[in-house]
Amino acid sequence: MILVTAAQMQAMDQKTINEFGIPGLVLMENAARGALEMLVDHFDPIEEFRVGILAGRGNNGGDGFVIGRYLMEMGVSVSFILLSRRDRVAGDARINMELVEKLLPEHPESEFIEVPDADAFEGYRERILDHDLFVDAIFGTGLNSDVRGFFRDVIMAVNLSGQPVFSVDIPSGINSDTGQVCGVAIEADATATFAFAKAGHILYPGNIHTGDLEIIDIGIPGHIARGEAPHIFLPEAEDIASVLPPRAFNSHKGTFGHLMILAGSPGKTGAAALSANAAMRCGAGLVTLGVPSGLMPVLEPMIVEPMALGLPQTDAGTLSVKGLDAILDTLRDKQALALGPGLGTEPGTRELVRELLAKSEVPLVIDADGLNCLADDPSILNTAKSPVILTPHPGEMARLAGISPAEVQADRMTVGLSFAEKHEVILVLKGAQTLVCCPDGEVFICPTGNPGMASGGMGDTLTGIIAGLLAQGLSPDTAALAGTFIHGLCGDILAEETPMGFLASDIVAVIPTALAELAR
C-alpha cells in the first residue's frame, strides 16, 4: 500500500485541479460523498443520531459541510458547529457553508452555530456536547504545529464526552507525516481519508487515534499520483510472498547460500545461537557461526544444524582482530555476513568490526554490539566495500545518530531515512512498527508484530532471519523488508495463543509456520 505525505497530497490536489481540470468543488463533493457512505455504514441507523459537525475554516471544514448537507437531506438532525468567524471561511469551503445555510430553513431540526473563540465555546459548551455523534472536520492533514487556544479545549471536551467520533481525512491534532500528537488530538472511532492513506494514519500514536480507516477514491488521475513519486509504503503479505526464493525440485543445500555469523561473548552465548538457528529456520542452506574459541564448549550444544568455528579472542573473551585473516578466508565461499549479537565492545572487537566493514566482499548485517562498535564514528559506514544492513533499536539508533532516544522516537521516519541516505545503508529501525529505510529515500512500515515480542533475544532472531534471506540471494533491501515482515508475523502467530510470555526461541520455532502462511 502506498502512503503519502501532506505535501504530496496537496500537490496531487492542485495538479488535478489546475492541470487536469477537475474543479476543487468536485473533489470536495467526491470526498464527502465517499466519507458519508462510510459514516452511514459505521453508525447504523444514522437517522437515530444527533450529529454535530465540528468544522474548521479550511477545506476540511468544507468536507464537513458537504457531509452534513447530505445528512440533513436524509432526515438526520445536524448541528453545524463552525469553529471560526463566518467571514474567515473562504474558497470551496465557503461555497459549501453557504449552501448549508440556504438549506437550513427547510430543516428546522438542524442548526448552524458560529463559535469564533473561547468565550463563545464556553457559552455553547453544553449545547455543543449534547450530540450522539461528532464529525471531526476541524484541521485535516495540513496541521504541523501544536493545537492551541480554544481548539484545544474543544478537542479535549469531545474526547471526554464519551460520544463516538468520525474523523474526516485525519483526526484533528495528528501530524499526517509523523503520526505524532500535536499537543492534543481527536480520538476517533473511524476515519475516512482521501485518495491515499497518510503516514500519520499508520504510525504510532496516530494509528491509535485513527480507529477504523477507509480510503476514499476522489477521482485523482493515476498519472498525477505516480508523478508525485510516493516513497512511503506499507507492505502486504502478497508483496512478501512474491519475493521469497522458489524451491526447485533439484535444489540442494548449496542452492540456498552459506551464511557466516560472528557473535557471542561470555554471558551472551544465547544471542549467537538464536541468530544462527533463526537463519537456518528461514531457509539458509548452510550457516557457520564464528565465536570466541573459549565459548565453543558452551555454544556447540546450543546449535545442531549450524556449524561452529572457534576464533581468536581478546583477554576479555570476545572476538579479536587477530582472527581477521581467518574470517576473510572463511568468507570466500559465503554469500553474506552477520555480526553483532552478543559480540561485546572490547577494543580488539571494535577493530575487527571496522576492518570487516572495510574489507568484506559480501553483504553485511550489523546488529547490537556490532552497531555499538561503530557508534563513535558512523562515517566509517561510507567506506564499506559491500552493501550494509543495520538493525538498531531506538537506543542504538540514538548512539549512531548522536541524539537522544526520545528524539529518535519523536520522528522515527525522519531520523531513520536521513541516516540511511547520509551513510548509504539500509537501516532497520526496530520497535513497534519497525521501519526499513533505504538510501534511495524509500521507507517501509512493517505492519506485523505485537507487544508480546518485547523481550530479550528478539533482535537476535531478526538478525538471523534477515541474514538468512540475504544468503539465499535476496537483494539487501528485499531481505531487510521480508525478514522484518516474517519476524513480526511469527510474533503474531504466537500471539494468537497468548498475548505475552513467548520467547525469542519460540519465534525461531514458528518461522516455518510463518513461511507456510505466506506461501498460502
Q: Are 53 and 35 in contact (CB under 8 A)?
A: no
Q: 2-233: what fold?
A: Rossmann fold (3.40.50)
Region of 194 (left: φ > 0; alpha: ψ -120 to 50; beta: rest) is beta
Distances (CA, A) of 396 to 258, 361, 392, 402: 28, 25, 5, 10
**Which residues, 6 or more positions from 207, have their beta carbon under 8 angstroms from its beta carbon?**
179, 201, 433
The domain 254-519 having CATH identifier 3.40.1190.20: the answer here is yes
Residue 228: predicted pLDDT: 80
> Mean pLDDT over residues 329-351, rounded?
97
The shares of helix, strand and coil residues in the chain, as percent rounded to the nearest 5, are 50, 15, 35
Distances (CA, A) of 405 to 177, 377, 409, 420: 20, 18, 6, 17
Percent of the chain's residues with pLDDT above 90: 96
Q: Tell me how far apart the alpha carbons of residues 138 and 487 are, in angstroms, rounded to a whole number.
A: 39
Question: Residue 505 above 80 pLDDT?
Answer: yes
- Over residues 324-335, the pLDDT tens digits come to 999 999 999 999
In the chain, CATH 3.40.50.10260 sits at 2-233
Name beta bridge partners: 224: none
> Mean pLDDT over residues 350-363, rounded?
97
Residue 338: predicted pLDDT: 98
> Mean pLDDT over residues 140-154, rounded?
93
pLDDT band at 460 (very low <50, low <70, confident <90, very high): very high
Residue 227: predicted pLDDT: 85
3 state SS of 165: strand
Q: Tell me how far apart the alpha carbons of residues 368 and 460 are, in angstroms, rounded to a whole number.
A: 8
Residue 144: predicted pLDDT: 84
- Over residues 109-140, the pLDDT tens digits come to 999 999 999 999 999 999 999 999 999 999 99
> Mean pLDDT over residues 349-364, rounded?
97
Report the candidate in 141, 142, 160, 150 with the shortest Cα–Cα distance to residue 210: 141
Name beta bridge partners: 289: 261, 308
In the chain, CATH 3.40.1190.20 sits at 254-519
Residue 259 has, within 13 A of its CA and on its CB side, a CA count of: 35
Residue 335: predicted pLDDT: 98
> Mean pLDDT over residues 280-297, rounded?
97
Q: Tell me how far apart the alpha carbons of residues 361 and 357 are, in angstroms, rounded to a whole number.
A: 9
Residue 142: predicted pLDDT: 86
Residue 245: predicted pLDDT: 87
Characterize 415-443 residue by residue with b for buried, 16 or more Cβ atoms within 10 angstroms of its Cβ, and e for exposed: bbbebbeebebbbbbbbbbbbbbbbeebb
> Mean pLDDT over residues 282-307, rounded?
96
- Over residues 60-90, the pLDDT tens digits come to 999 999 999 999 999 999 999 999 999 999 9
For CA atoms 252, 256, 262, 267, the dihedral sign is negative
> Mean pLDDT over residues 175-204, rounded?
96
Cis peptide before 205 (omega within 30 of 0): yes
> In whole numbers, what is the pLDDT of the chain averaged over residues?
96
Provide the Cα torsion 441, 447, 452, 458; round to 10°: -40
